[in-house]
Amino acid sequence: MKTILFLATFSLLLPACQEPARPVKERPVQIDTMQLVAPPAPLVKVASNEVYVVSRDSTTYIRFGDCYFSLDWITADPRRNDFEMHPDTLYFNLAHLRTIEGQMLAVTTGEAEKIRVFQCYETSAIIEKKPLLQWKHYRSPWETLIPEASNFFLCKKYTQAERTRFPPTSIHALQQHVKQHGSPAAYASVAQLDTFPSPSANVNISRYYIRLDGGDKKTADKINKLLIIDVNFNG
């Protein structure tokens, strides 16, 4: 009798043992952009009713309305920023030997409509590790940054040919400008040159521009912010 009962029980359990395991459905991965972009407790802070800028470690966070924007290796320029009178134009300095090219921009829109991001650059003549700000420049066209994911944009990288674009000029024009407006040391570095560009008077990207355009869902207000980021050649 025990043998019959054992065989009956075994026959009931056998199909259950042979039934294949059901695959576990994976949950989709979600990125919480607000968690990534919301500014931390401030170490360096500049604020107004329109703009709020806070830096923590190597990252700077910019808030305007319900939107947050973050980028590494930039710091607000207190000499040129006027967040009360000119909240739509923001000046930053880039850390020495750093670039925004290839960086991931994180933008949290909050109550704003979808933000569009544009990027361009400016080249200058570089002498004595300083750009000639009051002379000729090349300004590239605006280019739209395509989101890599929702609210994440990859800053454009530029080729060597793009980095050295410059308006037509002559070595004589450069020498005359530096003689009139530059320091004696700067003029001495270009006075004996026969060509431009050259190792002691080269051309490179001196400034990046990032523009953010959008609108508020609740009002008809437009969001237009221009970030001007100056390159640091001197450390």
Q: Is residue 115 part of a domain?
A: yes
Encoded tokens for 53: 């800028």
Q: Is residue 20 part of a domain?
A: no
Confidence of residue 204 (pLDDT cuts 50, 70, 90): very high
Higher model confidence: residue 92 or residue 39? 92
Q: Is residue 6 part of a domain?
A: no
Across residues 175-192, what is the average pLDDT? 94
Whether the CA torsion 25, 29, 34, 39 is positive or negative: it is: positive
What is the domain extent for residue 202? 31-228
Total domains in the fold of the chain: 1
Higher model confidence: residue 192 or residue 111? 192
Distance CA 118, CA 196 (A): 31
Q: Is residue 9 part of a domain?
A: no
Burial class of residue 202 (count of CB atoms within 10 Å of its CB; 0-12, 13-18, 19+): middle
Burial class of residue 18 (count of CB atoms within 10 Å of its CB; 0-12, 13-18, 19+): exposed
- The b-or-e profile of 59-89 (16+ CB within 10 A means b, else e) is bbbbbbbebbbbbbbbbbeeeebebeeeeee
The one-letter code for the residue type at 200 is S
Is there a contact between 59 and 71 (Cβ–Cβ < 8 Å)? Answer: yes
Other Cβ atoms within 10 Å of 105 Cβ, number: 23
Closest by CA position to 212, among listed 202, 197, 224: 224
CA dihedral 26, 32, 33, 37 (to 10 degrees): -140
Q: Is residue 19 part of a domain?
A: no
Global pTM value: 0.76
What average pLDDT does the chain have?
A: 80
Q: Is residue 139 part of a domain?
A: yes
Q: Is residue 103 part of a domain?
A: yes
The one-letter code for the residue type at 150 is S
Q: What angle do CA 50, 54, 60 make, to 5 degrees?
A: 110
Q: Is residue 223 part of a domain?
A: yes
Helices (H), the chain: 2-18, 33-37, 160-163, 171-181, 184-190
Q: 29-33, 88-92, 215-219 — which is least confidently predicted?
A: 29-33
Higher model confidence: residue 115 or residue 140? 140
Give the E-state strand segments of 85-221 in sequence order: 89-94, 104-108, 116-127, 130-131, 138-139, 143-144, 147-149, 152-154, 201-215
Q: 154-158, 182-186, 220-224 — which is least confidently predicted?
A: 220-224
